[in-house]
Amino acid sequence: MTPGFAFRVVAQKGRARAGVLETPCGAIETPIFMPVGTAGTVKTLTVGELAAPPLDAPIILCNTYHLYLRPSLEVVGALGGLHRMMGWSRPILTDSGGFQVFSLAALSKVDDDGVTFRSHIDGSPHRFTPESAMDIQARLGSTVAMAFDQCPPGDAPSEVIDLAVRRTTAWARRCLAAPRAEGQALFGILQGGIDLAARRRHLAELGGLDFDGFAIGGLSVGEPIPEMYRILEEFASELPAERPRYLMGVGTPDDLARAVACGVDMFDCVLPTRNARNGQLFTSEGKVVISNARHRLDTGPLDPGCPCETCRGYSRAYLRHLFLAQEILYMRLATLHNLTYYLRFIRQLREEILR
């Protein structure tokens, strides 16, 4: 592994693993959920709130594509890099930007060398290649960089999946050959859609390369959920055991539990923060849609067992009022709660493995 990084599995129950990923910015106990800070911020929260209990997030995710476009590499560089700009000293993982480029298919054109696209902000033309994606992440100074990949949609035909696998393999080798920031780790990404044979062929191509970790990409992109679970159950534990395994962009608490049982170590998803802002909250008693009239006069907490400030200090009725009034305070309190739920949930899964 890259100097300064080490990964060890400290306990295993079935295929589920509890591990520790050592990085130059601090240790990460796995399995772990990474809050998403797309544009250099986890929406509505300060880094102090993210680092303090009950969140105590050991790592967050930021996005190369969005930071490249705004505020720009020039601004991030002038502010001392991503860590300094944000005031966050713990690990940061940056997505390569590949998923964002390919999700804006109407604005992009892919070829074997890379992707030409137009900014979703102002329509200006840009181009990403494996080398430029690595250069951007090096200049951002993230702790863990992701290789540039092509992510096909969940309903893609076999020829599209095969082409994405071929390109992702070629681009992975180019990413490994490209310069990185000093002490920056690099994870490879495995594609193949819901074709298990394609997944295994891709693993055979990438598994022996010198990546610090391996990610399962191309899931939760429109395929049926049972098919996603099938791929995880049959494929996740085949990833190199001595490296962290990362499932990208997934998902619900049930998804996390299923994937941990299959041997996955790391996760990210916008679901807890996005759903919080849209009025859906996760609790130990199930999902709560805070706009429902049943909460109008409910003086009880959102989740009696939750230690977050939202649950300790505010009633469901007040949260409903804030949501309906479109008050900014609602978004902060809801985001704080949902991320607390997710991080407590993933830590409870870890504790079950350690027992």
Task: Clarify whether 95 is annotated catalytic.
Answer: yes
Per-residue burial over 78-94, b = 16 or more CB atoms within 10 Å of its CB, e = otherwise: eeebbbebbebebbbbb
Report which of 167, 173, 211, 212 is spatially closest to residue 191, judged by C-alpha positions: 167
Task: Clarify whether 268 is annotated catalytic.
Answer: yes
Report which of 327, 325, 332 is spatially closest to residue 276, judged by C-alpha positions: 332
Contacts of 78 (CB under 8 A, 6+ apart): none
Per DSSP, the residues of 203-256 read: HHHHTTS--SEEEE-S-SSSS-HHHHHHHHHHHGGGS-TTS-EEETTB--HHHH
Instruction: Report the alpha-carbon distance of residue 254 to residue 244 in Å, rounded.
Output: 21
Output phi, psi for 205, to 5 deg: -80, -40
Report which of 116, 195, 205, 215 is spatially closest to residue 152, judged by C-alpha positions: 195
Catalytic residue among 95, 212, 265, 303: 95
Per DSSP, the residues of 88-110 read: --S-EEEE-SHHHHHHTGGGEEE
- 39: helix, strand or coil: coil
Q: Alpha carbon of 109 to those of 64, 125, 127, 129, 157: distances in Å?
A: 18, 11, 9, 12, 18
Catalytic residue among 212, 265, 268, 303: 268
Helix axes 225-235, 253-261, angle to 10 degrees: 20
Instruction: Report the alpha-carbon distance of residue 247 to residue 270 in Å, rounded.
Output: 13
CB-count exposure of residue 257 (10 Å: 0-12, 13-18, 19+)? middle
Which are the catalytic amino acids? 95, 268
